[in-house]
Chain A
């Protein structure tokens, strides 16, 4: 496929979009922030005041360093700026330290490091195919994509209210995707390995990357029917790829080689429970109403951020183990990976498989946070502005995925912000995508419309009615439960919608069938568990 680059001069609308959202972020400096604020402050202190050898051993705070080394280096470099704002925040013994200077610095650091995200978004917008006829700026695909990426509700809420550096990380992802779309595979691989060494949650996407690079970069030719020509394998390319990945990892883990076991054990997601908070995940209903989880969620601050070792054992039905979730995840992404190997080899197919990988691991993975839905939403934005079906999927997934982030912000002062921002993004994405794909036919099926309208009812029930009702006392987690169960339907639906439809032999259909069966089993298993536990513990107050 030929990628028509948007003319560089026609992007004059990009700076206002980026500047506008950056200024808006600055307005949230004084807003609520979660314990992630303290997590990152503690990391700043650790990396600034301790020798490198102590970084992954330090445990005076419960929020130990559990990101890969490159992120630790990132925090280390930030700490050099931080000392000019407030040097007290850089002391390891100052636990739970908050001061105006510290807040200002940490918030501004997120706003400024979002520059990487903005750059990544520009690169992605350049790769979008522009229609032949000269359209109005507002209905150009690249403009719509820029808004969908830069003004993404989830990122705004998670980074600038809840507090995290996802924008910075997603910047690397978008840059890497853009490089692949531009057929600069080595650069893309380099950026992705940097990303992996910043935050290991992106390992979920690694299967797609691996298969795609192996198939499309290391094999230079295809047969007529699109299947792989084994003789065209280029060892040199494989070597180059391997060199890039290993050198980045070596640079990142090099200083920690003596204690690599400690580092890896810190990074391991097995330290956490099956799910942090009640996100719209498929396996979560299995243990959702469990008594211990209820107790955990009573301290929402503690449950929303990671690092604490919490294991739950089911009392009624057998527990879900990490190996089960691993098998489920692999099963769920297998058909997509196979189709990527055997099917068309363009970067857009890769993007779709990447999406399936992140959605599959979101639905089935172990210890997944509801914020991880952004892993699927952002890459899907790129597809949504170019393909009609993807636009429909995007609308279902973003609306449900974003709504599932609502429980992250539970403070009343931030309630208007989350509602208004969500409305703004949803109205924009609906009208812009409908205008973009303005041909005959509808983007969403009537049932999907009904489902999304139902979301309004759920929102009113969970955000307004239930907290004010007497049930708030007896069943304090009912709103969370309703939210996540309702949202999981939408996420599962969009997961099925994204499955590759171009029929790659019978394997895919077979796989899909088994997958559907797995789905049904899990749904029923979850529902059963739900009913049992509500009967047993529902009245518990």
Chain B
């Protein structure tokens, strides 16, 4: 079998899975309650409708008062299409920012505008100002799902294919296996095609940036990353490693000679890209400031809902939210984040290799996720992307983390009615990644890079660390499976209604923290000679 046919089969399969997930319902807050009420009250009428589907019943039924990300994206299309650009980010008579106001950077708005033009040409009702609020129909759902697929097909999937073919090492079979697991990562599929978001765009652009840096095209890489940043501000999680890598590389080339030239080229690329993206908003400084204020809301609190980060987990023991004022909460989280990011960034600055860059991406985004202010559970996708890049190098830890990250979003999936796709894709990912990348067979202290742990545990010479890691992996997988089952099947005790979500987030948090410490240690330990040889290639 030639590599191209294997690659195309992988891509086609990934597309089929994506589309299969998208046949399910999307995010509608509170819809479950409403749908149940609807079914109970009007059940007879509903039953008599022969060709209705599960996916159509759940979100559409009952017209709940609040909608999820699906309505937000549709609303942005409506706003960007109908209103002049000056009003997009402002609260005006025509634009009610309290109703899913635009709070993403300009590229998202432009993307919405393009989608809105297509929508308008298909059915003008979809983007009619005000009247289209809460619009839902099977055809519209099909259109929205198709926009996600098209965006993925253009940006995310080619980047993954190129990354796996050109920047991972091993036989072509191994590359295809990595590609398969990367494309099948369930978290991203479920959020984009189930819950409904366009993470594939921002992550895809960031991945193009990584790809370009890996191939040595630094200016192109920074261009792609700036686009990612201008699509979704959360890409700031990745900004420090990009910055440190490029700065470190320039310093290495000599700040007086070629390094300076490189730095200037990158800086002008970055400035140019930003200027281009923000061009329509730059005429008025106030306008630009309003966009920035919309993009970075600080008034929302330390954390929202149940997130598997430090603050939410700490909340079980210490109620930080009530002890500290909101300002000091910001400073505390800022300090913790900086402290957590610092080691890996300093290391990257001094040793700007691609391997260090990948690790720093994972470490920095994980630090942001664990310690920063106002984290959403979906932000774990930003960590998952760099960890996917490590699938080939550190298979066991990467699979472990990716599985835990999908698991950490389980309450969200259950709310969206995505139980079956969640179970199916997680099971498939776990099984196939373990089968194809065989991390458990080649599991030794050397491949797991446990040298530092060995030195720390010098007083226990007989301990087989690899064996312990393997068992920890089994136990954590069993725990995630058990907790998933319990959450679905059992009703929590009445005095502890949040018991299961909290158990889910704290289990996930422990695994994230463990991964964070481990990846930091790996970054500081010497890369094995195998690695460095390959980078020169």
Binding site for B on A (CB under 8 A): 16, 19-20, 23-24, 26-32, 38, 94, 96-100, 103-104, 138-139, 412-413, 416-417, 420-421, 423-424, 427-428, 431-432, 435
Contacts and interface: CB of A to CB of B under 8 A. Distances in A.
Contacts of B267: none
A100 B20 contact: no
A431 B432 contact: no
> By CB atoms of chain A within 10 A, which of B12, B49, B52, B57 has the most?
B12
A29 B420 CA distance: 9
A26 B57 contact: no
B20 A20 contact: no
Interface residue tally on B, bucketed by range: 35 or more
Given A31-B23, A417-B19, A26 B420 contact: yes
Nearest to B12: A424
Contacts of A28: 20, 23
B325 interface: no
A30 B16 contact: no
A100 B54 contact: yes
A408 to B, nearest CB: 15
Q: List 8 A-B pairs, minimum CB-CB distance, nearest first.
A: A27-B20, A96-B50, A431-B5, A424-B12, A30-B55, A23-B428, A30-B54, A26-B424
Contacts of B425: 27
Contacts of B8: 427
B64 to A, nearest CB: 18
A24 B17 contact: yes
A16 B55 contact: no
B50 A32 contact: no
B21 interface: yes
A420 B12 contact: yes
A435 B149 CA distance: 32
Given A417-B19, A424-B12, A427-B5, A29 B54 contact: yes
13 contacts: A16-B435, A23-B428, A24-B13, A26-B424, A27-B17, A27-B21, A30-B24, A31-B53, A104-B420, A413-B142, A427-B5, A427-B9, A431-B2
A98 to B, nearest CB: 6
B432 A20 contact: yes
Given A27-B21, A96-B48, A421 B16 contact: yes
Contacts of B16: 24, 416-417, 420-421, 424
Contacts of B23: 27-28, 30-31, 413
A371 to B, nearest CB: 20
B431 interface: yes
Nearest to A28: B20
B5 A98 contact: no
Interface of B: 1-2, 5, 8-9, 12-13, 15-17, 19-21, 23-24, 47-55, 57, 138-139, 142, 149, 420-421, 424-425, 427-428, 431-432, 435
Nearest to B35: A100
A100 B149 contact: no
B50 A431 contact: no
B148 to A, nearest CB: 12
Contact of A413 (B12, B138, B428): B138
Contact of B47 (A23, A98, A413): A98
A427 B424 contact: no
B438 to A, nearest CB: 11
Given A31-B53, A103-B53, A427-B9, 17 more contacts: A23-B428, A24-B16, A27-B425, A30-B54, A97-B47, A98-B49, A99-B47, A138-B1, A413-B138, A416-B15, A416-B16, A416-B149, A417-B19, A417-B20, A428-B5, A431-B5, A435-B1
Contacts of B47: 94, 97-99
Nearest to B56: A30
B431 A19 contact: yes
Contacts of B432: 16, 20
A38 B48 CA distance: 13
A27 to B, nearest CB: 3
A30 B53 contact: yes
Contacts of A96: 48, 50
A421 B9 CA distance: 9
A463 to B, nearest CB: 15
A443 to B, nearest CB: 15
Contacts of B5: 427-428, 431
Contacts of A417: 16, 19-20
A31 B420 CA distance: 13
A426 B149 CA distance: 22
A121 B139 CA distance: 39
Contact of B424 (A16, A23, A421): A23
B474 to A, nearest CB: 19
Given A16-B431, A97-B47, A413-B23, A27 B1 contact: no
Contacts of A423: 12
B20 A139 contact: no
Contacts of A30: 23-24, 53-55
A417 B12 CA distance: 10
Contact of B142 (A16, A100, A412, A428): A412
A24 B52 contact: no
A27 B21 CA distance: 6
Contacts of B21: 27
Contacts of B142: 412-413
Nearest to A423: B12
Contacts of B428: 19-20, 23
Nearest to B15: A420
A479 B36 CA distance: 42
A103 B424 contact: no
A423 B51 CA distance: 28
A282 to B, nearest CB: 33
Contacts of A27: 17, 20-21, 23, 420-421, 424-425
A23 B431 CA distance: 11
A137 to B, nearest CB: 9
B1 A431 contact: yes
B420 to A, nearest CB: 6
A473 to B, nearest CB: 19
B164 to A, nearest CB: 18
A98 B9 contact: no
A424 B9 contact: yes
A432 B1 CA distance: 6
B6 to A, nearest CB: 8
Contacts of B55: 30
A32 B20 CA distance: 11
Given A413-B138, A416-B15, A424-B13, A100 B57 contact: yes
A27 B142 CA distance: 17
B1 A139 contact: yes
A28 B5 CA distance: 25
Contacts of B12: 420-421, 423-424, 427
A423 B16 CA distance: 11
A30 B421 CA distance: 10
A184 B316 CA distance: 66
A138 B177 CA distance: 13
Contacts of A412: 139, 142
B205 to A, nearest CB: 24
A224 to B, nearest CB: 44
A412 B5 CA distance: 27
B248 to A, nearest CB: 42
A468 B95 CA distance: 36
Nearest to B52: A98
A412 B87 CA distance: 36
A428 B142 CA distance: 28
Nearest to A428: B9
A357 to B, nearest CB: 33
Contacts of A20: 428, 432
Contacts of B427: 23
Contacts of A424: 9, 12-13, 16
A416 B23 CA distance: 11
Nearest to A431: B5
B536 to A, nearest CB: 30
